Structure 1
Amino acid sequence: MSLGLKGIFCHLCFLRSEFSFKETWRHSLILSFQTLGVVYGRFSTAPLYVFGTIQTTNFKSNETAYEYFSFLFWTLTIVSLLKYTFIVLRADDNGEGGIFALYSLLCRHCKVGLLPNDRSTEEIMQHEECYQLSSGLQRSLSNIKYTSSTDAEQTISDDLRKYVPVPSACVITVGLFILQYYGTHKIGFMFAPIVTIWLLFISGVGMYNVFHWDPKIFSAISPVYMYRFVRKINKASWKSLNSILLCVAGSETMFTDLGHFSRRSIKLTFVCLIYPALVLCYAGQAAFISKHWNGTENFNHLSESVPKHLRHVFILLSLLASAVGSQATITATFSIINQCLTLGCFPRVKVIHTSDKRLGQVYIPDVNWLLMALSLSVTIGFHDVTRIANAAGMAIVFGMIVTTCMMSLVIALYWEKSLFVSGCFLIFFGFVEAVYVSACMLSFHKGAWYLFVISAVSFTIMLAWHYGTMKKYEFDLQNRVSTEWLTDYSPGLGVSRVRGIGLIYTDIVTGIPAFFSHFITNLPAFHQVLIFVSFKPHPVPCVPPSERYLVGRVGNKDYRIYRCIVRYGYCDQVRDTDNFEEQIIGSIGEFISLEESDSESLASPEGRMMIVGKPLVESNALIPIHDTTSVAGSTNIANNETLASPSGDFIERKTAVRRKKVRFLIPEGGARMRLSVREELQELIDARESGTAYFLGQSHLTVRDDSNFLKKFLIMAFVFLDRNCREPPVALNIPHAALVEVGMVYII
């Protein structure tokens, strides 16, 4: 019977997830308009440097323009239209996209995880009630090493140097990054008209050039011209394919920015506007080049194909479009860093959600200013647009290769297609991308090296953070203390219980953390109510509030020791809420009430974990009462925080605020409760009124003297990053007066 109920519940949850992402056509059109200003800036500015970065000496005849256009057309069609628009966009993870979304799907269906995990933890995290989702919420503290390949597109595609002096280009670049504060929604509406006018302009010019110079240019769509190009290939012409690759710049960001918009809006915009506009633009430019290849020196630049009386309009629009061109990469970088940060594979940075409707719309100030510094360094340091194009091309193709490899696994393991289908996808698209990799490697010394420097630094940071986090977690697992030590042996050591609630934050979900046993050993006292709180990520965008908390007991009922596991997805902001303590207390109360009817509540040594997540206003155990009190210089917030209001505007919370004090009462129907349940709930209320203390472990990692250089370097890098990055999110909402940090030395 339980299996039947579980199956029905899972089916209903699946239907709920399907219909929750349905959107009206009106909403799709609005999002489609916004994608023009955010997602497709890279695509729209590609014509500025695709033909323009090819050496003029590579054009031997009018046939050369035909051959390059053939490569352009089929690369744009195969990679951007076929691969990303019609295949990869379907592999979203509940609306989220990017390489991490693919990894997330594989993580759940293949049980992939790079951090250590003990069997007892796995059993607890996989525990299910009849009303729990039976799939998708398995524990996985995941890491992803390919982020640098996705966000390494950087903002180095800035082509402003071609039209304006370096100082002006730097000013425009700084202005672009300052605008990121306002969020995807406002930026999309702000930039979309610019991209729309630009696309209509270049497609119109392209159409004019086709009919005016060479109407036969569309015959170059035939793959025969690509064969002719390959047949007479040499090193110089093969290297020029690196420039052709730039026509698909922005394909990866279509998928990565999926969380900011929707699949339908991104696909609709590309198929109906972006693709035909770019084909017309490239066709017109190729038609112009076919008649002027032996003429002026800069015949292959887009500006030369524009009629002279429209040159001033072109310069103005190209300046504006170039400024917008980097927006897609900036937004994609925010998405990827946010996803990786939530799963603990990137140093802690501040994340601001800029929309209450689209969870994927985020702004990360630290990353924003870092990208701005990198963009300025490229603008000032590189004196040739071709060098920038070489670096951008290398970043583009490596990101695509990673997506192709992971997508082939998704097709076989998640979509459950045959290995033949998966292999065909890998071989077909992998071959196309391998061709461009070989072309990019020929230009390694001319700009592409910059990508490898940035990638090496990013990889080192992620590797050090992952390694330090892994070793720290292993130490916690190996040095944890059994539950019996606290509940059975501690009284014999003269440990006393004091009034109040003790919230102990720990990464482990079984046993007693080493830092708390260290505290008890040196100060033999702990609170009358203890709650061990663990935050556990899941490779899903969001965990529903009704399934967020797993609550159980530690030891016998009389000990009043509980364990609460808070589950969250990579788009959830569970730890940033001011009422988190109230939610924990309410969940414990709900657990006490539900446990009365659960005959298997003490089936395991650690206690049976139950899912509770009912909103406090509907609770059957405790009723919250809100009292607003003025708190001057409140320590509830460590730093001024900037949050998004429901209207999308930002509100800065000052340290002097009016904070809601929540008190709990037993409901009127509480008289029908079992006496033991009522007494336990009342004891929980009394303990809350007496005060709450928060215990955090403060780790000090040291390396053994006989360790090798690599191990010492990684640990030193981790310690440096840990000291200089932001505080853990949970620490931001803890009153300083109630915070107890227990330091321990971790010998790795």
Structure 2
Amino acid sequence: MSHSEPKSFKATLALSFAALGVVFGDIGTSVLYTFQECFHGAHPVPIDYDNVMGITSLILWSLIIVVTVKYVWIMMEAENKGEGGILSLLSLVPAPLRYNAAGTLAAASLLAVAGAALLFGDGIITPAISVLGAMEGLELANPDYVQYVVPGTITILFLLFAIQRTGTARIGKYFGSIILVWFAVIAFLGVRKIIGYPVVLRAFNPRYASHFFVHEGWSGIKVLGSVILAITGGEALYADMGHFGKKPIRIAWRTVVLPALMLNYLGQAALILQDEKASFRPFYSLIEGRGVAYYALILLATAAAIIASQALITGAFSLTQQAIRMGVFPRVKIIHTSEDVQGRVYIPFMNWLLAFSCIAIVLGFQKSERLAAAYGLAVSGTMLMTTLVFFFVAHYRWKWELWKVLPLVLFMGIVDIAFLYANLLKIPDGGYLPLMIGSVFFLVMMTWQYGRAQLSKFYRERSKTMDGFFNEIDCKQTRRIPGCLVVLASTENKVPPVLARLVDSMHVIHEHVVLVTVTTVDAPFVREDERVRVTDMMHNVSRVIMKYGFMEAMDVPEVLSRCYFSHMNGFPKDSATYLLGRETFIINGDSLFERARQLCFSAMSRNTTSASDYFNLPSSQVIELGAQLAV
């Protein structure tokens, strides 16, 4: 459920603490592999004083510019009734800029859908690299343990996905405490090394970052593909704003997360400057010896990685739900796991897709440094898409003048493009993976939206008007049978084709008819007093317009049971009949591309969750009437 901003300081601190376990796990575990990737990744740079200080400065200023300025300060102001994230941001864009006249997606929507598709790729890679990076600490403890790293990672990932349906709510209350301990420990480890080599604090001077680019040239640009690992999770701060509010997230970031991250990165830099060999596993090398403290750190890092993975899994569920409600993703089964929290959902299809994809990635890449080459492209792509969609919101929704919005968007865009360009260079080394995953999701989302738009157009052009329908009933003396018939309608002012087919073929109609149109509004939630509008028409026919937010569960029978109808003494929830259409599509495209797109849409339509499940209709009271369509 979306949180409004807390009014008391105590409530704010409580939400800030809770946010630690949900929002900051991803960015908090980046310390496990970021420095190692910079010096031993796809595009490594030599280890010397200038390079270590330059990369440290880049990491520090990336945390300041991208996460603090862009996401924590700027993007969190672009909220839709408290909700954040790229699809929520899209809902703030005026409708004419989201859809073309034909109902297909316009530029702003294409950008947001592309960003969302890349986020799905991030959701697949993050659990794999986080848990794998944590488990690799065993290698330093004992080289013989290397054989247990991959099997252990796969076991943890499988168990994590297996408990999604029931297990996370019970253990979730401990996440905040564990992550708070994690940040305290990584800050402490960093401070110990900084005290021994305080010169490293000079990395706060951005001159070291600029000197690094001048000195390294092309290699300096390439290393941004590794530096971005330090800011993965920045999008999560914005996307999870609806769960905690922007003020608690901002407080947690400024007082706990940012200082701890900076101290740890500085500590790793100080260690590498004193011992070049430590660059292979700089995080775990912050602890001398291989005693109890070392194994405790591995255990804590693994717990933090699991929590970070949980946040990405939950985010993928929420993103899927938003995409379905906004009509850009096929309907899949959504299970609401909490009666108290509206936004807490479990999506079986997405859960097991993520599970087997993560396991396949671990088996394929084996080591976090190999997987790190694949990481970052999805994040940098989404960052750029978010910036571009923000331009549409700021200029066209908030009415900012171009002189005000362009410098801001250009500044953020240049930073995003630099990171994206550096990550595109990693495509041969593994960057193809998020690109492939994102492309598949993008094609699925685009095909589904295009197909639904064409289907809506087809029905609009061929549906009968209500007046014409009533005239037919009068002229043909259609027989009325006892009972109440509920018909789902895609348009608000015409007769649903499935109802017209029923009357034409059976020459009967129920005594009471309710036409229901369910719409998703550009907001996460809808107030109950604005939920429904009932219009009674002639012949005991009523039209009901229901509104839902893109974060809400749909329950048509429950809403109808609270409606008043002039021709009925209460809605017969337990005896009403629900009439649904079931379309079979004829593949008739003129080109190979058109036929392929029609075939994909037809396959997705056959395998989506049924409308009865989607709208929570009782299956024993549902009748489906089929039709073949050439759209």
Amino acid of the structure 1 residue aligned with 2:564: S
Equivalence for 2:228: 245
Unmatched tracts of structure 2, length 5 or more: 138-147
- The corresponding residue for 1:718 is 601
Residue number in structure 1 paired with 2:502: 519
**Structure 1 residue 206: Cα displacement:** 0.6
What's the CA shift for 1:427?
0.9
Partners of 2:167 and 2:89 in 1: CA distance: 25
Mapping for residues 227-306 of structure 1, pairs under 5 Å: 227-293=210-276, 296=277, 298-299=279-280, 301-306=282-287
Q: TM-score, normalised by structure 2?
A: 0.90
Q: Kindly tell me: are residues 687 and 83 of structure 1, through their superposed partners in 2, closer, same or farther at Cα, counting changes over 3 Å?
A: closer
CA distance in 1: counterparts of 2:474 and 2:557, whole angstroms: 35
Name the CA distance, whole Å, in 2 between partners of 1:541 and 1:421: 29
2:608 aligned partner, one-letter code = C
With over 3 angstroms needed to count, the CA separation of the structure-2 counterparts of 1:741 and 1:436, relative to structure 1, is same
1:742 maps to a residue whose letter is L
In the alignment, what sits opposite 2:145? none
CA contact (8 A) 1:541 1:570 kept: yes
Q: Could you say which residue in structure 1 is the equivalent of 2:18?
A: 34
Once the two structures are TM-superposed, the CA of residue 463 in structure 1 deviates from its matched residue by 1.7
Distance in 2, Cα, partners of 1:440 & 1:731: 39
Higher mean alpha-carbon deviation, 325-334 vs 425-434, is at 325-334
Match of 1:416 in 2: 399
2:70 to 83, 89, 94: 83
Flag the 1:285–1:690 CA change in 2: closer, same or farther, 3 A.
closer
Shift of 1:483: 1.9
Q: 1:579 to 1:115 in 2, by over 3 A?
A: farther
Distance 1:408 1:483 in 2: 42
Distance 1:98 1:687 in 2: 38
Name the aligned partner's letter for residue 561 of structure 2. E
Partner SS, residue 37 of structure 2: coil
Mapped partners of 1:189, 1:394: distance in 2: 32
How many residues of Structure 1 are paired with residues of Structure 2 in the alignment?
Answer: 606
CA distance in 2, matches of 1:166, 1:355: 34
Paired letter, 1:739: V
Alpha-carbon distance between aligned partners in 2 of 1:348 and 1:580, rounded to the nearest angstrom: 21
Structure 1 counterpart of 2:388, which letter? Answer: C
Counterpart in 1 of 2:144? Answer: none
After TM superposition, the score normalised by the length of structure 1 is: 0.76
Residues of 2 paired with 1:101 and 1:534: CA distance?
23
- The AA in structure 1 aligned to 2:627 is M
Q: 1:277 to 1:520 in 2, by over 3 A?
A: same
Closer/same/farther in 2, CA of residues 255 and 333 from structure 1, 3 Å limit:
same
Q: CA deviation at 1:320?
A: 2.2
Does the CA-based 8 Å contact 1:500-1:689 persist in structure 2?
Answer: no
The 5 A counterparts of 1:349-498 are 349-498=332-481
Structure 1 contact 259–358 (Cα < 8 Å) conserved: no
Report what 1:112 is aligned to: 98
2:561 is aligned to 582
Q: Distance in 1 between matches of 2:619 and 2:159?
A: 38
* Cα shift at 1:161: 5.2
Please state which structure has a larger fraction of its residues in helix. Answer: 2
1:508-587 equivalences under 5 Å are: 508-554=491-537, 557=538, 559-575=539-555, 579-583=558-562, 586-587=563-564
CA contact (8 A) 2:37 2:372 kept: yes
The whole-number CA distance in structure 1 between the counterparts of 2:510 and 2:278 is: 81
Q: 2:397, 2:151 → 1: CA distance?
A: 50
Q: Which among 25, 28, 38 is matched to residue 9 of structure 2?
A: 25
Distance in 2, Cα, partners of 1:738 & 1:194: 48
Question: If you compute each CA radius of gyration, which structure gives the higher value, 1 or 2?
Answer: 1
Cα gap change, 1:174/1:23 in structure 2, threshold over 3 Å: closer, same or farther?
farther
Query: CA deviation digits over 1:243-267, x for unaligned, max 9?
Result: 1111101100111122232212211
Deviation sequence 1:366-417 (CA, Å, 0-9, x none): 2122111111111111133223212221111111111111122222233332
Query: 1-side partners of 2:310 and 2:572: how far apart?
Result: 48
Cα shift at 1:508: 1.3
Alignment of 1:603-614 (within 5 A): none
Match of 2:143?
A: none
Alignment partners' CA distance in 1, 2:372 and 2:352 = 22
Q: Could you tell me how far apart the structure 1 residues matched to 2:62 and 2:614 are?
A: 49
2:119 to 146, 150, 172: 150
Amino acid of the structure 2 residue aligned with 1:98:
G
More displaced 10-residue stretch of structure 1: 409-418 or 33-42? 409-418
* Change over 3 Å in CA distance of 1:100–1:186 after alignment to 2: farther
- Structure 1 contact 261–358 (Cα < 8 Å) conserved: no
C-alpha separation in 1, matches of 2:446 and 2:361: 25
Amino acid at match of 2:295: H
CA-CA distance at 1:226 after TM superposition = 1.4
Gaps of 5+ in 1: 1-17, 119-139, 590-679
Question: How far is the alpha carbon of 1:356 from its aligned partner?
Answer: 4.4
Query: How big is each residue's C-alpha offset from its partner over 1:504-546, in whole Å with a ceiling of 9 and x where there is no partner?
Result: 1111111212222222111111122222111111111112111
Shift of 1:178: 2.9
